[in-house]
Structure formats: C-alpha cells, structure tokens
C-alpha cells in the first residue's frame, strides 16, 4: 500500500499546512500523462521519506479551489510546504532524484 495521501480542500489545512514534517504536494489530474509518469517515483519517495516528510496528492479537477488558490497553471505542479509555507516548487514531470532534492532541501 502506498504512503501517498490523497487530500481534499477540507483536509488540506491539517494534512499539509499544519504538518510537522515537510510535505510535497502533487497537483495532478486523471487525464494528465506526465502526472501518471511520476506517480511511481512519488510512491517510492513516500516510502523512503516516511516519518521525515509526506507526499500528498491533490486532484485539480475535484479540488478546483485549491488549484486556484495555489495558482496551478499546468500539471503536474509539485509544491513543498514546510511550516505552512511554500519552500519549493517544480512544474512538469521530473525524475525521482529531482523530486528527492526538493524534499532534501526542505529537510536541511
């Protein structure tokens, strides 16, 4: 089972902004090919960083208000939050190493 958590607007505050660990949020959609390409890497990172950081997915089609609030213009859009603040971001599909680098920066 994956450690990646899917969150809605109502869960976002508690799961992301109030989190004690850094959180990598993947803004994605079912129809997005690049989103599907990076999903296995996110699953692996969720396992590798368990207890140190979290991976959360937000479906932009279902959670439009969050997509608007965080100015999601293209997906996948990955944002790292730490202490409720945005500390890193990546637009587009990238490799697992680059995604890990975003988390490592937030953990440093």
What local confidence, expressed as pLDDT, does residue 88 receive? 96
Which H or E run includes 28? strand 23-28
Per-residue pLDDT, 107? 95
- Residue 1 a catalytic site member: no
Mean pLDDT of 90-94: 94
Nearest CA to 107 among 54, 56, 53, 48?
53
Annotation says 48 is catalytic: no
Non-local (6+) Cβ contacts of 26 within 8 A are: 4, 35, 38, 42, 55, 56, 57, 58, 76, 77, 78
**Residue 91 to residue 72: CA distance in whole angstroms:** 9
- pLDDT-derived band at 1 (thresholds 50, 70, 90) equals low
Read off the pLDDT of each residue in 81-102 and give the average, rounded to a whole number.
95
Set 16, 23, 32, 99: catalytic member: 32
The residue annotated as part of the active site, out of 25, 35, 42, 75, is 35
Can you give the residue range of the structural domain that contains 77? Answer: 5-107
Assess whether pLDDT exceeds 60 at residue 17.
Answer: yes
Average pLDDT of the chain to the nearest whole number? 95
Task: Report the alpha-carbon distance of residue 108 to residue 105 in Å, rounded.
Answer: 5
pTM exceeds 0.85 for this model: yes
How many folded domains does the chain comprise? Answer: 1
DSSP letter, residue 21: S
As a whole number, mean pLDDT of residues 9-34 equals 97
CATH of residue 87: 3.40.30.10
């Amino acid at each position: 089972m994956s450690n990646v958590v899917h969150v809605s607007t109502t869960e976002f505050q508690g799961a992301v902004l109030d989190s004690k660990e850094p959180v990598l949020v993947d803004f994605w959609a079912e129809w997005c090919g690049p989103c599907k390409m990076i999903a296995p890497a996110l699953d692996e990172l969720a396992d590798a960083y368990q207890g140190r950081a979290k991976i959360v997915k937000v479906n932009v089609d279902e959670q439009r208000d969050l997509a608007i609030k965080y100015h999601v213009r293209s997906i996948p859009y990955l944002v790292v939050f730490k202490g409720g603040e945005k500390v890193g971001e990546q637009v587009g599909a990238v490799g697992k190493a680059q995604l890990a680098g975003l988390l490592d920066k937030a953990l440093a």
